[in-house]
């Protein structure tokens, strides 16, 4: 038996419900998105909630539809463990990435997550540049990031790599763990208190499913070995599902993602690269491009070795991607507004009362 509070229900969601709303509608947490339906839990039971075609067609974009972690209003069917979804409540946080291709749409990964555990393997998967991208995406969505360096049992350089991770983590906690033998796992449990929701993200093969099983104390997720030679993983998690834990928290495993382009960057860049922004604030010129300008504190840090040139290049690349995204996104909005105005004008010209 669960309670709504244990599932993450809070005043934020309660305030979105009109006291006079239809009493046949009950709030429920989305445990798993199945496409045309989703599995939800209302605190008493788990149900399969159908997403009506009308709701799907009315959604302005794919991210307006429910994903794992969302709170929704459903209408249970009497005598059945089935319901019909009526409404998706506004999200407190979200984890999204840019959808594949030239589109400016977001691909929503999870909703209403308190902390995102960014998992990297202490093997051939470890990559500070990819870690920076994940941290920007997490912060942009409003969740708190934490870094999990897994496979400490198979790495002799764990301490050195943890130092590299802390250098780019922007203050996020860094945990060195082994899901295989259990070392460091108690530190992860500290993020999974009653009513809290954590998500695991990272490439295939970093051990996310093994971490879920270790934290849950049961074999909930199927595990497959990484490939020999390149250390790349094989997809074992194919959907996103919230798993209730004995600690009272909820854990969400996600399919592996080798590449992640943040859907937007904005202020998350400053939070993730505060060390570079602090240096830039000491440059002689406020609009310093950090190239050949005199009195550039960033260039000085590069020259004395206190700033990694790869980290500066990573920030500049993410900033360019953010600017390009904003330009394309704004252009799309302008096109959509122009098309809407043309449609309105056509309908006005067809109106016989105007003749």
DSSP string, 84-145: EEEEEPPPS-EEEEEPSSS---EEEEEES-SEEEEEEETTTT--HHHHHHHHHHHHHTTPEE
For the chain, give me the number of helices (H) and strands (E)? Answer: 10, 13
Distance CA 7, CA 248 (A): 8
How confident is the model at residue 233, as a pLDDT? 47
Predicted confidence at residue 319, as pLDDT, reads 85
Whether the model pTM is above 0.85: no
Residues 14, 50: contact at Cβ < 8 Å?
Answer: no
What is the distance between the alpha carbons of residues 204 and 236, in angstroms, rounded to a whole number?
A: 8
Considering all CA atoms of the chain, what is the largest pairwise distance in Å, rounded to the nearest integer? 83
CB 50 within 8 A of CB 28: no
Decide: 17 and 74 in contact? Cβ < 8 Å: no
The percent of residues in the chain predicted with pLDDT above 90, rounded, is 53
Listed residue (200, 206, 201, 214) closest to 232, CA to CA: 206
Q: Contact, 150 vs 174, CB < 8 A?
A: no
Q: How far apart are CA 250 and CA 216, in angstroms?
A: 10
- pLDDT at position 297 is 95
pLDDT at 228: 47
d(CA 52, CA 72): 13
Structure tokens belonging to residue 89: 């409540």
CA angle (208 as vertex; 206, 211 as ends), nearest 5: 120
pLDDT given for residue 306 in this prediction: 92
In this prediction, residue 220 carries a pLDDT of 67
Report residue 151 CA to chain centroid gap. 23
* Nearest Cα residue to 265 out of 304, 319, 222: 319
**Averaged pLDDT in 10-residue chunks for the chain of 355 residues:** 85 91 92 92 94 80 85 94 94 81 69 96 89 91 95 91 94 94 92 93 89 82 51 54 89 76 68 91 91 92 94 90 71 67 74 57
DSSP annotation of 174 reads E
Domains, the chain, in order of start with CATH, read 11-88 (2.40.50.140), 94-253 (3.40.50.300)
pLDDT at 259: 60
What's the angle, vertex CA 51, arms to CA 49 and CA 55, rounded to 5? 145
Mean pLDDT of the chain: 85
What is the separation of C-alpha 111 from the centre of its chain, rounded to a whole number of angstroms?
8
End-to-end CA, the chain: 66
Question: Residues in the chain, how many?
Answer: 355
pLDDT value at residue 235? 46
Calpha distance 158→136 (Å, rounded): 24
In whole angstroms, what is the distance from residue 161 CA to residue 124 CA?
A: 12
Task: Give the pLDDT of residue 345.
Answer: 75
3-state secondary structure 249-273: CEEEECCCCCCCCECCCCHHHHHHC
């Amino acid at each position: 038996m669960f309670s709504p509070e244990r599932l993450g229900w809070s005043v934020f969601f309660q305030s979105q419900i009109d006291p006079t709303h239809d009493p046949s509608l009950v709030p429920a947490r989305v445990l798993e998105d199945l496409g045309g339906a989703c599995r939800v839990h209302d605190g008493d039971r788990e149900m399969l909630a159908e997403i009506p075609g009308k709701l799907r067609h009315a959604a302005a974009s794919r991210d307006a539809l429910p994903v794992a972690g969302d709170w929704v209003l459903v209408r249970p069917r009497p005598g059945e463990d089935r319901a019909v979804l009526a409404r998706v409540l506004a999200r407190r946080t979200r984890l999204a990435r840019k959808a594949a291709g030239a589109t400016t749409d977001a691909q929503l990964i999870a909703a209403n997550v308190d902390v995102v555990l960014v998992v990297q393997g202490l093997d051939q998967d470890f990559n500070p540049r990819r870690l920076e991208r994940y941290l920007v995406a997490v912060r942009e969505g409003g969740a708190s990031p934490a870094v999990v360096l897994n496979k400490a049992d198979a790495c002799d350089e764990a301490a050195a790599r943890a130092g590299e991770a802390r250098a780019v983590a922007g203050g996020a906690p860094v945990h060195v763990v082994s899901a295989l033998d259990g070392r460091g796992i108690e530190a992860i449990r500290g993020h999974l208190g009653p009513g809290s929701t954590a998500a695991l993200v990272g490439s295939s093969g970093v051990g996310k499913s093994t971490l879920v099983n270790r934290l849950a104390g049961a074999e909930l997720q199927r595990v497959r070995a990484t490939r020999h030679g390149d250390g790349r993983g094989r997809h074992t998690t194919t959907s996103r599902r919230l798993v209730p834990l004995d600690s009272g928290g909820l854990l969400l495993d996600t399919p592996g993602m080798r590449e992640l382009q943040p859907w937007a960057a904005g202020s998350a860049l400053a939070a993730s690269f505060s060390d570079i922004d602090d240096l830039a604030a000491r440059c002689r010129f406020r609009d310093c491009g950090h190239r050949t300008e005199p009195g550039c504190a960033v260039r000085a840090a590069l020259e004395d070795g206190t700033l990694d040139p790869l980290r500066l290049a990573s920030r500049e690349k993410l900033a360019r991607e953010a600017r390009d995204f904003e330009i394309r996104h704004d252009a799309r909005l302008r096109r959509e507004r122009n098309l809407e105005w043309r449609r309105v004008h056509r309908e006005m010209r067809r109106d016989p009362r105007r003749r």
